[in-house]
């Protein structure tokens, strides 16, 4: 379906665009990995490593034991990372190449889609905007989650097949319905938020065919859907669980609809006034703030969207009249389908916005203000499905509406995108990140600690084959996971579980993981940490304080060490070396590739304890 007539000019143009796409993405990947580092990806890398070395636990368990929930895509990208690990080593960059592959195929599919159903001009212009998009899309296109970013591939695949069905053969080729169902079923298993794209397909189908549920094609679609969703069905039987369609560890419909209808107006305003423009994540240029650039980019998109919508206003009204059929019972003639191809592209972002506003999902409250929590693009992850359409719309607008104004809008968007992507690239850092590890048993231990409540000691036997270094990493995560799971219990309950379930030689690492749970920035958490430490004997308290020390670095503030020293005064002085060692670990891990800043922080340390910090730095750098 997709591989057709790629020889000649079309194939040459696409090949050149692919090369340019890869040059920009690889330049960002190899020079700005510190801006893209996301520990949750390492969970997927560990799956790949397990496959290579022989799984310690059944692969299905990687969908069972999770922070909140892991979709089927987690397992898929873990499997797909295996050849990259074989080719390039088990590194973080090799893991990132899976996300890059998904974004490359998404890029190609959008080019083929626009080239086939719109025009070559629209396809090329859109490709340029995909190559130089807003920084948010560049960053998210290099993420290997097996969830929100990669779901864009299934969205455009489904849309492509839908257009083939209704534009080329008016629904006569039944095999295409089987293919559409298979894409939809696998997409939903891959990531449950693909439901938005699936609902859009059904909505558009209903608009053009009110009797779709009575058609033979619908049952063929359902057969294809069952085939695509078969990994989820197999998971039910293999793992004997009933939570394939959990979202965030809750029942499937629990977050599907918003619980408080009164906040819909404020959520709508926030989406269009704050969340969407802020999600573009442009950095400041000269004396212009990044937020201003993001809003200007958003304004240009709105101009293109409104211009295209105005030109297709009658077609959009026809779509909404078709959608209102269950209420009005007025059947609207919406043929030929080709007359509505632009209107449907315009309708998708509106449909996405409606689904988001009515859902129980929210853009997080500015977590990116504290990079110790997570990086900026993660907080805006629910905006990812809209980004490809925001990039494609101006291209269709420019190709459809002739004149200097539409070209100015396009080139302004392209120029801002070029500027935003160049700001991500840092050539002095080229090659700096090639040794970063692409897996982590700490995060596996964390998941096990969170989810395994029955016969934990028995389950831990699976991990006896780990090397001592990796086992220590695993038990640190395990301690953190158990303590987090029991956070509402008495502190002594954590100690009891450690005593009853964990092997003695690895308990110190579990206590270190427990200490690393608490954030001294919160007075309440710091007091809880001090209370927990007071319950431990001297040997265990040392490890607990080393873990707590990893949270005592306030690297985003000018008075870095002064704040740390204020906290240390509330801890017995004999435990300060362990806190400083933990602080050093954090410095080494976070700033492994920034020697200048590491040295600056070391110079601010009390000389009496500097050696402990340096020891910790070495451990932290080795752990990354």
Render pLDDT for 112-125 as a digit per residue (tens, 0 to 9). Answer: 999 999 999 999 99
Chain centroid to CA 242: how far?
25
The contacts of residue 67 (CB under 8 Å, 6+ apart) are: 40, 446, 447, 450
pLDDT of 559 strictly over 70 = no
Buried b (16+ CB within 10 A) or exposed e, 92-108: bbbbbbbbbbbbbbbbb
User: Which pLDDT value is given to residue 137?
Assistant: 95
User: Which pLDDT value is given to residue 369?
Assistant: 46
- How many whole angstroms separate alpha carbon 169 and alpha carbon 163? 9
What six digits make up the tokens of 226?
A: 């069952």
Better-scored residue on pLDDT, 196 or 556: 196
- Residue reference for tokens 């059929």: 325
**Can you give the three-state secondary structure of 502-558, one letter per residue?**
CCHHHHHHHHHHHHCCCCCCCHHHHHHHHHHHHCCCHHHHHHHHHHHHCCCCCCCCC
Buried b (16+ CB within 10 A) or exposed e, 57-66: eeeebbbbbb
pLDDT of 215 strictly over 70 = yes
Render pLDDT for 497-543 as a digit per residue (tens, 0 to 9). Answer: 999 999 999 999 999 999 999 988 888 999 999 999 999 988 899 99
Render pLDDT for 446-466 as a digit per residue (tens, 0 to 9). Answer: 989 988 888 888 899 999 999
pLDDT of 201 strictly over 90 = yes
- How many whole angstroms separate alpha carbon 301 and alpha carbon 392? 10
- For 521, phi then psi, to 5°, come to -65, -25
- How many whole angstroms separate alpha carbon 54 and alpha carbon 337? 52
What six digits make up the tokens of 602?
A: 């070391």
Rounded mean pLDDT, 224-239: 84
- How many whole angstroms separate alpha carbon 598 and alpha carbon 46? 29
pLDDT of 421 strictly over 90 = yes
Contact of 339 with 219, CB cutoff 8 Å: no
- How many whole angstroms separate alpha carbon 547 and alpha carbon 536? 14
Q: Is the peptide bond before 131 cis (omega within 30 degrees of 0)?
A: no
Query: Taking phi first (over 0 means left), then psi (-120 to 50 degrees means alpha), and beta for anything else, what does residue 281 get?
Result: left
- How many whole angstroms separate alpha carbon 308 and alpha carbon 343? 9
Could you tell me the maximum CA-CA distance found in the chain, to the nearest angstrom?
83
- pLDDT band at 373; cut points 50, 70, 90: very low
- How many whole angstroms separate alpha carbon 227 and alpha carbon 237? 15
Q: State the alpha helices, DSSP H only, in 32-91.
A: 41-53, 61-64, 72-88
Rounded mean pLDDT, 208-236: 87
User: Which pLDDT value is given to residue 520?
Assistant: 85
Chain centroid to CA 69: how far?
13
The contacts of residue 385 (CB under 8 Å, 6+ apart) are: 148, 151, 152, 155, 193, 196, 197, 352
Q: What letter does residue 302 receive in the DSSP assignment?
A: H
- Radius of gyration (Cα) for the chain, nearest Å? 26
- Of 194, 74, 63, 44, which is closest to residue 146 (Cα–Cα)? 74
What six digits make up the tokens of 52?
A: 């290579």
pLDDT of 244 strictly over 70 = no
The contacts of residue 220 (CB under 8 Å, 6+ apart) are: 174, 177, 178, 181
Render pLDDT for 265-304 as a digit per residue (tens, 0 to 9). Answer: 888 999 999 899 999 999 888 888 988 999 999 999 999 9
Contact of 334 with 318, CB cutoff 8 Å: yes
3-state secondary structure of 91: strand
Contact of 63 with 75, CB cutoff 8 Å: yes
Q: What letter does residue 129 receive in the DSSP assignment?
A: H
Query: Taking phi first (over 0 means left), then psi (-120 to 50 degrees means alpha), and beta for anything else, what does residue 170 get?
Result: left
Contact of 367 with 373, CB cutoff 8 Å: yes
What six digits make up the tokens of 152?
A: 């864009």
Render pLDDT for 86-106 as a digit per residue (tens, 0 to 9). Answer: 999 999 999 999 999 999 999
Please report, for residues 180, 203, 341, 424, the alpha-carbon distance to residue 168 in angstroms, rounded to integers and kept in the order given. 15, 19, 12, 42
Consecutive H or E run containing 560: helix 560-568
What percent of the chain stands above pLDDT 70? 89
Residues in the chain, total = 624
Neighbours of 251 (CB within 10 A): 11
Contact of 85 with 53, CB cutoff 8 Å: no
């Amino acid at each position: 379906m997709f591989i057709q007539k790629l020889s000649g000019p079309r194939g040459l143009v696409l090949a050149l665009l692919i090369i340019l796409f890869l040059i920009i993405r690889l330049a960002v990947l190899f020079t700005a990995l510190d801006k893209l580092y996301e520990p949750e990806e390492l969970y997927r890398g560990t799956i790949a490593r397990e496959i290579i070395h022989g799984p310690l636990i059944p692969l299905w368990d990687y969908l069972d034991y999770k922070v909140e929930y892991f979709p089927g895509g987690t397992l898929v990208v873990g499997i797909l990372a295996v050849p990259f690990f074989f080719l390039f080593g088990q590194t973080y960059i090799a893991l990132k190449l899976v996300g890059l592959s998904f974004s490359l195929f998404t890029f190609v599919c959008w080019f083929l889609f626009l080239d086939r159903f719109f025009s070559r001009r629209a396809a090329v212009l859109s490709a340029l905007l995909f190559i130089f998009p807003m920084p948010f899309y560049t960053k998210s296109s290099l993420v290997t989650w097996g969830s929100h970013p990669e779901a864009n591939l299934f969205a455009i695949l489904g849309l492509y097949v839908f257009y083939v069905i209704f534009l080329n053969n008016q629904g006569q080729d039944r095999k295409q319905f089987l293919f559409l169902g298979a894409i939809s079923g696998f997409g939903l298993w891959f990531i449950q938020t693909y439901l938005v794209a699936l609902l859009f397909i059904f909505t558009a189908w209903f608009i053009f065919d009110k009797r779709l549920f009575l058609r033979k094609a619908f049952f063929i679609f359902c057969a294809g859907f069952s085939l695509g969703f078969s990994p989820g069905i197999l998971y039910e039987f293999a793992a004997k669980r009933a939570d394939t369609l959990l979202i965030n560890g809750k029942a499937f419909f629990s977050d599907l609809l918003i619980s408080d209808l009164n906040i819909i107006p404020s959520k709508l305003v926030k989406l269009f006034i704050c969340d969407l423009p802020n999600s573009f994540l442009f950095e400041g240029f000269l004396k212009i703030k990044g937020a201003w650039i993001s809003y200007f980019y958003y304004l240009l998109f709105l101009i293109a969207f409104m211009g295209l919508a105005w030109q297709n206003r009658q077609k959009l009204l026809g779509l909404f009249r078709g959608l209102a059929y269950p209420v009005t019972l007025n059947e609207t003639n919406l043929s030929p389908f080709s007359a509505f191809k632009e209107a449907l592209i315009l309708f998708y972002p509106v449909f996405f916005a409606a689904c988001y506003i009515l859902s129980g999902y929210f853009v997080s409250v500015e977590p990116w203000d504290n990079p110790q929590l997570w990086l900026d693009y993660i907080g805006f992850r629910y905006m990812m499905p809209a980004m490809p359409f925001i990039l494609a719309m101006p291209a269709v607008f420019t190709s459809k509406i002739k004149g200097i104004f539409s070209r100015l809008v396009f080139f302004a968007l392209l120029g801002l995108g070029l500027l935003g992507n160049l700001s991500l690239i840092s050539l002095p850092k080229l090659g700096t990140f090639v040794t970063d590890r692409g897996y982590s048993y700490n995060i596996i231990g964390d998941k096990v600690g969170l989810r395994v409540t029955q016969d934990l000691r028995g389950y831990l036997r699976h991990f006896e084959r780990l090397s001592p270094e990796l086992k220590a990493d695993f038990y640190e995560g395990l301690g953190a996971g158990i303590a987090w799971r029991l956070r509402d219990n008495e502190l002594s309950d954590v100690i009891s579980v450690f005593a009853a379930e964990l092997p003695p030689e690895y308990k110190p690492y579990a206590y270190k993981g427990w200490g690393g749970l608490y954030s001294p920035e919160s007075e309440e958490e710091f007091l809880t940490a001090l209370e927990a430490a007071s319950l431990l004997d001297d040997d265990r308290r040392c490890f607990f304080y080393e873990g707590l020390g990893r949270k005592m670095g306030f690297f985003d503030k000018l008075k870095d060490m002064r704040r740390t020293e204020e906290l240390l005064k509330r801890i017995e002085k004999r435990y300060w070396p362990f806190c400083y060692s933990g602080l050093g670990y954090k410095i080494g891990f976070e700033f492994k590739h920034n020697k200048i800043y590491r040295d600056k922080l070391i110079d601010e340390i009390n000389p009496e304890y500097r050696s402990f910090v340096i020891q910790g730095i070495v451990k932290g750098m080795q752990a990354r």
